Structure 1
Amino acid sequence: MSNINAFLFGFTNMFNADILNAISLKDRKTMVDNFYKKSEELRKDSNEQYKTEIKKITSQK
């Protein structure tokens, strides 16, 4: 989970730098929408990986 958090932190910093360079409000809105979509995908993947690891650990006991 810490790797995902570190990646999201870096992704957020890149996103913030890019959004400051965006010229129009439409560009900014598009970037925000893309950011939220990508972060939701990463969160879902992270949750699925976490659940499979927990299942492995609990089944080994």
Structure 2
Amino acid sequence: MAWLRITAPRGATPTATSKCLCGRDRSAVGHGKVLALISDHEAHRDECPLRTTPEGRAAA
């Protein structure tokens, strides 16, 4: 459901894209921003409305 693509060629600025079937589409450029996007992508996997059921959200 969710994809994270990271490109970090030697000597070049790293980039990343986080996409999800729920409509999420984010990107980052630069080492610090790519690291932040990786963390955000991991958090989204737990919060995505396509992965959580109404029952699961109510119980949490």
TM-score (norm 1): 0.42
Is the strand fraction higher in 1 or 2?
2
TM-score (norm 2): 0.43
Larger relative contact order (CA 8 Å, sep ≥ 6): 1
